[in-house]
Structure 1
Amino acid sequence: MTPLIHLAAADLVMAEQRSEQVTDWAARIGWVVGLVLVVALAYWLMREGWKWRGTLQGDLPELPDLPADPGAPTLRMSGRYHGSTTAGQWLDRIVAHGLGTRSRAELTLTDQGLAVVRPGARDFFIPTGAIRGARLDKGIAGKVLAEGGLLVITWAHGERLIDSGFRSDHAVEHADWTTALEALSTMNAQQEGAR
């Protein structure tokens, strides 16, 4: 093969390589639009599932409002509210009346009960007579921490027992809260036994 023919063949191969389309924009845009539609559908289905769960829990009574004068605070805690579940079923999340909304929380324990103030979410109150116990646990629906990293308060509301999970900004406070809430729970059990 002569050098001239060789160069001409090389130019022809390079011309063919240069003429190939680098990006198929129509296919790429189609894939991006398809992916956006799949993500939007998944988000919509999750939202509908959340609303459906709230409808199923429609028998749950309204949450007690904070009393005008709750009394002198026994304990205070700042931290996070991680949600509520049916007692003993850590994956059965309760979403009715805003109990499924995670948020910052300020807890105040008084003789009347437990005030839960949540900026950006609905506040609620757990009367002293409704407190059934407290424990340190590692998880509640959608949140798993180290062993003992979550303060779980069990309380009665309507016909249901509810577990609500809280995490203090200072985990060392959890032990004091567990002791105080267990004492209230024991006192409630004794009062009910005396009736």
Structure 2
Amino acid sequence: MTREGALLVIVAVALALIGVAVWAWSRRRRRDSGLAAPVGELPSGAKTLAEHEVLYVATTRHDEPLERLAIEGLGFRSRADLTVTDAGVALDLTGLPRLFLARDRILTVDQATVAIDRVVEKDGLVRVAWQIDPDTLVDSYFRPQNSSARVLAAQLGALTTTTGTDS
């Protein structure tokens, strides 16, 4: 095979892989189109308990850390500011409107090691299980940048009645 022929084969394979990835993501977006991120501001009078710089890792189906959901605003990893208040959690992802998880949506908070494409030291991620709608429970994963995962999990866990550790 000539050099040009080999180059054409490589380019064709690369384009086919990109096409499959685009097709798969569009199917995932259609599948998850009924789910919406909770866009909103903090309620007036909410008391700020803590603020953290975090890496937002992903939102997945509950207890399925490798099944990313394609929810508008929560589909991709991003730097974020996470504000813990007595009313819930505000999440400011870079370039997106503020998301607010009311306290009654948050079911459990624990620590994890794996989420999709992120593997960290034992218990290096914080996993928040929350209701995105009345029928769907999801997990969102955060990697604290300026504090430990244990500290963030404890602060978020104070909003719920259930906390724990997951390897």
Instruction: Decide: shared fold, TM above 0.5.
Output: yes
Looking at secondary structure, tell me which structure has more helix per residue: 1
Looking at secondary structure, tell me which structure has more strand per residue: 2
The partner residue of 1:116 within 74, 84, 91 is 91
Give a deviation string over 1:156-176, Cα, whole Å, max 9, x none. 11021111111011342x222
Q: Does 1:136 pair with 2:115?
A: no
Q: Residue type of the partner of 1:160?
A: T
Give a deviation string over 1:78-137, Cα, whole Å, max 9, x none. 021111101111111111213221110110011221111111345421111101111111
Of 59-68 and 126-135, deviating more is 59-68
Alignment of 1:154-193 (within 5 A): 154-158=129-133, 159-172=135-148, 174-186=149-161
Greater Rg by CA: 1
Larger relative contact order (Cα-Cα within 8 Å, sequence gap ≥ 6) = 2
Query: Could you tell me how far 1:71 is from its partner in structure 2?
Result: 2.8
TM-score, normalisation: structure 1: 0.75
Other-structure match for 1:35: 10
Q: Is the 8 A contact 2:37 2:99 kept in 1?
A: no
Separation (CA, whole Å) in 2 of partners of 1:38 and 1:108: 45
The partner residue of 1:86 within 61, 78, 100 is 61
Partner SS, residue 34 of structure 2: coil
Separation (CA, whole Å) in 1 of partners of 2:31 and 2:13: 27
Structure 1 unaligned residues grouped into runs of 5+? 1-23, 188-195
Separation (CA, whole Å) in 2 of partners of 1:69 and 1:47: 42
Query: Could you tell me how far 1:70 is from its partner in structure 2?
Result: 6.9
Separation (CA, whole Å) in 2 of partners of 1:134 and 1:105: 18
TM-score, normalisation: structure 2: 0.86
Other-structure match for 1:105: 80
Other-structure match for 2:24: 49
